[in-house]
Amino acid sequence: MRTQVAIIGAGPSGLLLGQLLHKAGIANIVIERQSGDYVLGRIRAGVLEQVTMDLLAQAGVAERALAEGLPHDGIELLFAGQRHRIDLHGLSGGKRVTVYGQTEVTRDLMEARAAAGLTTVYQAADVQLHDFDGSNPTVSYTQGGQRHALQCDFIAGCDGYHGISRQSVPAAALRTYEKVYPFGWLGVLADVPPVSHELIYANTERGFALCSMRSESRSRYYVQCSMDEQVENWSDEAFWNELRARLDPQAAERLITGPSLEKSIAPLRSFVAEPMRFGRLFLAGDAAHIVPPTGAKGLNLAASDVGYLWRGLAEYYGEKSSVGIDRYSDTCLRRVWKAERFSWWFTSLMHRFPDNGPFGQKIQEAELDYLVRSQAASTSLAENYVGLPVEW
């Protein structure tokens, strides 16, 4: 087999890249080690920046997100027992975010790919990347007991933090930066109405909490927990009681509980691998960088990576220019590091750290009080939350 671009990973970033390339007339094949049902079963974030919504529109898959997604013009910060609204729309010059689940984004992209008759290889075992430092890269894999080889011009590694793409890069060619946070998020998905029509980020003496949603009838809630916790030790009742204890009285009274559809504990880390290009291999999304979910940047960063790569490859094939792909890594990393900074800052501001003690809690509350009372500080938060401008 041969194609122009081999895409490793059928998550939203790989599928979005495939759809954008298809629209540009660039042949591509997606290779995924899991089944399609497994990919759709992964529960992930769902706050989309306008940049991401624009890319979905350019890929021809934004119709359902526009119809069913929930536009949000603000968020609420809860600290010292009171909620304070940040006017994202007003402070950012008219921008907003859209709440639409990552699972639904993936479903839309899968259906569009199938409708276009594009090839996706699921359950590909022992995927290996070859000769991407030369002019004729190849991806080999096993499926149905047979070994296959896919020749291509370029490889896009969209296969996540644990994927083979970054692991295939020689260690000497890669520099990594990492911060592991001393806590996790215990998350619950439930078919109950959201406690508020906008997201609530809570800083409390009991720890962080987040009230989010996937729709007007499905909610996603989180509480900060120790990394020693086991999800099996948390009954639904225990979770709802802990969440209620971290909310203000009005929100606690409005909280509607129900059986959990999914319950899990996610660790938090910041991670960046540099550079993001190695010959004819490009890393995108979680394969190159991880952010703590506090700032809702993971999927959005992956989408902007894909946007840069799509434009660079379209320029390469359409105009015979390599300027875009040559600048890919540097251009992406400027945006990545700004998002890393914001996610680290927001995480540090909103969470209870084991060593901070009462003094650290008071410092956080003082900074939060300044944040909600200063238009300059609120504007900075809003600009970063809705997404900084892209360079295209």
Peptide bond into 293 cis (omega under 30): no
* β-pairing verdict for 200-203 and 47-48: unpaired
* β-pairing verdict for 277-278 and 74-79: unpaired
Catalytic residue status for 293: yes
Catalytic residue status for 385: yes
Catalytic residue among 201, 221, 308, 328: 201
CA distance 6 to 4: 7
Query: Which of 183, 185, 184, 188 has its CA nearest to residue 235?
Result: 188
Query: Which of 194, 38, 244, 64 has its CA nearest to residue 124?
Result: 38
Catalytic residue among 95, 293, 316, 328: 293
DSSP class of residue 2?
B
Residue listed under structure tokens 């590694």: 157
Catalytic residue status for 338: no
Task: Tell how far CA 215 is from the center of its chain.
Answer: 18
Structure tokens at 390: 């892209």
Catalytic residue status for 148: no
Query: Which of 288, 311, 313, 312 has its CA nearest to residue 298?
Result: 288
Q: What is the DSSP string of 20-75?
A: HHHHTT--EEEE-SS-HHHHHH-----EE-HHHHHHHHHTT--HHHHHH-EEE-EE
SS3 284: coil
Catalytic residue status for 89: no
Catalytic residue among 22, 72, 289, 351: 72
Q: What does each C-alpha distance from 30 to 20, 38, 174, 199, 383 come to in angstroms? A: 13, 16, 25, 34, 34
Query: Which of 147, 121, 127, 149 has its CA nearest to residue 136?
Result: 149
Catalytic residue among 22, 95, 289, 297: 297
Structure tokens at 116: 């276009």
CB 298 within 8 A of CB 291: yes
Residue listed under structure tokens 């790569």: 309
Active site residues: 72, 201, 293, 297, 385
